[in-house]
Amino acid sequence: MISEPPVPWNTQGIGGLWLGCSLRELVLTFTKSSRMTLLVLAFAWLLSGAVSWAQQQPNLVWIMADDLGYAELGCYGQKVIQTPNLDRMATEGLRFTQFYAGATVCAPSRSVLMTGQHHGRTRVRGNAGTENPQSQALRDEDVTVAEVLKGAGYRTALIGKWGLGDEGPADSGLPRRQGFDYFFGYLSQVHAHNHFPDYLWRDENKVPLTNIVAPVGNRGGGYATQAREFADDLFANEALEFVAQNKSNRFFLFWSLVTPHANNERTRELKNGAHVPDFGPYEHEDWTEQDKGHAAMITRLDSHVGRLLAELKKQGIAENTLVIFTSDNGPHDEGNHDLTRFSPSGPFRGIKRSLTEGGIRVPMIAWWPGTIAGNTSADHVGYFGDWMATASELAGVRAIEGTNSISFVPTLRGQSTEQRNHEFLYWEFHEGGFKQAALWNGRWKGIRQGAKRELALYDLQSDPGESTNVASRFPDIKSKLEAYLSEARTESAEWQPRWPNGTATR
């Protein structure tokens, strides 16, 4: 685990700021000068440099919705659900049009985000549940972006859903063992299905809530029979409090919302997984309760994000804070709402658990007043793993070697000619038989739906909906993707590829 900044030399400066090698170089340069001259020069450097240094190393906020589709925001084409705050965030910031989640389901997507390793190399590669909790937990030897930022002097907090370590055998992945100074939320993703739980975690302690819960199964699931405290409301309040308390510090806030994920257990028991405090502006729509609830979740989420942006402005730190908003994977169909009403994947095919674009391409908005030009869009092709290199660069520390991470800071700053690009992006999926997908040069998408099946090839440039398999027309490109897929992943004892008939592959 990282306990020191991953840079060669650091020292503590004015106001608790970490100041880098330039001071050491200054001392070496003036060793032959008088002591008084050296002190005057050093003091002048500290006064001028500390301010510019702080401006160069912004606060970092990563806000992530749960199962929000690419087109469930107005700024991405949504026509029915109201998202005025996120639409304004896009107007004031930068909207990415081809950004990808780490995976098509939550746990591996979060693992990719935390480690900067793609889906075939990160620790957690699927949703394992209670059968083998260790396979869904980060280990001590894993290095997370939170550890890197903490080592660089950032105050780090996770508020909301975790899913990469739980109490018991999987406790190596507990948030505070993976670089977070503070945690408030859910450890288990199954527990997070219930938006009205009877407890949450604060660090390693259970905090009781006033909701009354009917448990379902033995994996922490259930639903509220008396719903009084909505988790995302609590998380929003906590996020605002964290910002206010740390306005004078550098901080990294990972705000991991649990909406609009359905309560799967409530869907099975009561046929309605969209459990919200109220239907908001959709109360009088001639819709099913499931549709009203789903839309209300997203509009409520939108209002929480609006509150955070307003708080940053109120505290006078908006211009020194980068805020990212995205979703952990594509949209779900687990709440019994009507997908045709909302068209959550927009022009893309598939939803959550699919390796087509609808399952992995996600909304991505970057907001940083004074640095990011407003009302702009970027076609840069990136993915969750790039947050490691991006955050490291912004924090002024060296990127960890051996990751699958490329900084998108040049894109944020409008310097597209300086932006490096991935040759390949990679995903896999283990439920119902092993599947793989890769994207080459941001255009050519190869999907193998089962290890023994032929690779399907799609040209996203002319066919973003992946409607036509062009493998027979472009055999050389197909072969290139097949070769990459054969070597892209590393071996993992917990995540062995298996044929649909259960036979392991190598």
Give pLDDT, residue 218: 80
For every residue of 368-422, DSSP letters joined together read -TTTSPSSEEE---EETTHHHHHHHHHHT-PPPTT-S----HHHHTT-GGG----
**Considering Cα of 281, then 287, then 288, then 290, what sign does the dihedral take?**
negative
10 CB contacts (<8 Å, ≥6 apart)?
18, 19, 20, 21
Give pLDDT, residue 52: 42
What single-letter DSSP state applies at residue 80?
A: S
Please count the CA atoms within 13 angstroms of the CA of 278 that sit on its side-chain side: 5
Q: Quickly state the pLDDT bin for 150 (edges 50, 70, 90).
A: very high
Which domains does the chain possess?
A: 11-54 (no CATH), 57-418 (3.40.720.10), 425-487 (3.30.1120.10)
pTM over 0.85: yes
Is the per-residue pLDDT at 44 higher than 60? no
DSSP H helix total and E strand total for the chain: 13, 19
Tokens 């990415």, residue located: 96
Question: Looking at residues 267-296, what average pLDDT do you find?
Answer: 98
Rounded Cα–Cα distance for residues 63 and 367 (Å): 11
> How many degrees, rounded to 5, is the angle at CA 151 between CA 145 and CA 155?
80
Summarised one tens digit per residue, pLDDT across range 60-74 is 999 999 999 999 999
Please count the CA atoms within 13 angstroms of the CA of 228 that sit on its side-chain side: 9
For every residue of 283-331, DSSP letters joined together read TTSSS-HHHHHHHHHHHHHHHHHHHHHHHHHHTT-GGGEEEEEEESSS-
Please count the CA atoms within 13 angstroms of the CA of 331 that sit on its side-chain side: 26
- 31 or 66, greater pLDDT: 66
Share of the chain above pLDDT 70, in %: 87
Q: Quickly state the pLDDT bin for 217 (edges 50, 70, 90).
A: confident
Determine phi and psi for 223, rounding to 5 degrees.
Answer: -150, 155
